Structure 1
Amino acid sequence: MIPQAVIFDLDGTLIDSAPSLHRAAAETMKTLGHRPPSRAEVESFVGDGVGMLVARCLAAAGAPADAEDAVRVFRQIYDADPLTGVFVMDGAREILAALTARGIRLGLCTNKPLAPTRTILTGLALGPFDAVVAGDSLPQRKPDPAPLRHAVALLGVAPAQAAYVGDSHVDAETAVAAEMRYLHVEGGYLSKPLPPGTTRCRSLSGALAELFDD
């Protein structure tokens, strides 16, 4: 069944933000006097929000777990320039345009805070989206299903009429908890096994074909 709304994750799904996240994480750790993480480490830490990203960087450096101060430093560095090095994933503009042309409503559900999310969407001219739910839009963050359910409500459809497109185990777990169809796009920030039966797509163009395969 072709959905009435499609909601996307951002990092690793529509954009590759690893360069900017790695730069901010490395500068944060250097500022605090700790070992900066490698890009591969940062990519494996992405998906659970800024707090967990920073906490994992501290743990990897063997540093005291003073995440509150480290998060403040990270946000100052990252929010000042979340765009450098970021690029749109292959097929992202095409899938958004194709869905819009079919009259399908578009949503975004990310654990990234709203301010840098807006900066990135504007800077890359990505969208427009009918609903945007960010990591600080609600008290809960993915994999809690509340943000995804909130996005569906903003789009005015039932969960059974929507699909979620993501790239990580966090996205998959969120969709399962929200009882929503999930399409997993390879090539993002997958660091843990996916739930059994997950629909895998090799690319965003593959996800588009899967969505229209009724």
Structure 2
Amino acid sequence: MHLTTPRAILFDLDGTLADTAPDLTGAMNRLRVARGLPPTPYETLRPVASAGARGLIGAAFGLQPGDEEYEELRVAFLDNYASALAQDSQLFDGVPALLESLRGLGLAWGIVTNKAARFTDPLVPLIGLQQAGCVVSGDTTPHAKPHPAPLLEAASRLGMRPGDCWYVGDDLRDIQAGQAAGMATIAAAWGYCGDAPPVTWNADAVADSPMQLIELIRRLSS
């Protein structure tokens, strides 16, 4: 898709707007310690933080959905996380300036995350994102990303056509969801990004920092 001037920017949350890995990995390592295991190094867990419980349990315990004990670990991990959502989570450097720039340009913005509303709803105001025009969580629609349904719901809530929106995310499934929704896609290379380099995701653009994203939007809006 050729990039055109957006009317709205939709963002993933974990690893795109906010560095939530410290609290996510902390919840996982409290689970390991409670089971008599040493903490998993932060450097091992951080890249998979955008994949939530599935990615973190895979990295910390070597288990995947369907494996014995996986569901028990998932429930315990989420309970740990719910008890300490925003002790160390914060917006990435440059994100407040990015959001202020969008306001100055008259562009709407919103959040589309696979994080369940149980966590999203209290977390968003705690880390300073309460001005979002919409917040769509992983359980807001019947499908989570990479299905396009959450992104289409967000566009609808903002009163926008999908083609007038950009979707910005730090995971391949974000780009897949944006493409399926008919939106322009931007890979947030400042985020966690998993195993595959963002340049391989076939996004419409790759931004190495929030400032680069600001510059890209300004060029198209001028």
When the two structures are superposed, what TM-score results if normalisation uses the length of structure 2?
A: 0.86
Worse-superposed segment, 166-175 or 28-37: 28-37
> Does 2:20 correspond to 1:14?
no
Q: 1:50 is matched with which residue?
A: 53
Q: Which moved further from structure 2: 139-148 or 78-87? A: 139-148
On the 8 A contact 1:167/1:187 being kept in 2, the answer is: yes
Q: Is the 8 A contact 2:7 2:108 kept in 1?
A: yes
Taking the aligned partners of 2:61 and 2:142, their CA distance within structure 1 comes to 24
Deviates more, 1:130-139 or 1:189-198: 189-198
User: 2:211, 2:83 → 1: CA distance?
Assistant: 33
State percent identity of aligned pairs: 28
Give yes or no for the alignment of 1:165 onto 2:206: no
2:208 corresponds in structure 1 to 202
Q: Deviations over 1:133-169 (max 9, x none)?
A: 1122223211122211211121111111000111222
Q: Which amino acid aligns with 1:10?
A: L
Q: Which amino acid aligns with 1:50?
A: A
* CA separation of 1:136 and 1:49: change in aligned 2, threshold 3 A: farther
Of 79, 83, 86, the residue aligned with 1:83 is 86
- For residues 77-113 of structure 1, give each alpha carbon's deviation from its aligned partner in whole angstroms, at most 9, with x where no partner exists: 1001111111211111111112123221111011112
Instruction: Compute the displacement of 1:35 (Å).
Output: 5.4
Inter-partner Cα distance in structure 2 for 1:80 and 1:16: 18
Which position in structure 1 is the counterpart of 2:219? Answer: 213
Aligned residue for 1:170, secondary structure, equals helix
The answer to whether the 8 A contact 1:28-1:74 is kept is yes
Does structure 1 residue 128 correspond to structure 2 residue 139? no
Q: Which runs of 5+ in 1 are unaligned?
A: none
Q: 1:177 aligns with which of 165, 177, 180?
A: 180
Normalised by the size of structure 1, how large is the TM-score?
0.89
What residue identity is the alignment partner of 1:78? Answer: Y
- Separation in 1 of the partners of 2:68 and 2:44? 17
- Deviation at residue 34 of structure 1 after TM alignment: 4.9
Q: Give the conservation status (yes or no) of the 8 Å contact 2:143–2:149.
A: yes
Aligned match of 2:72: 69
**RMSD between superposed Cα atoms in Å:** 2.1
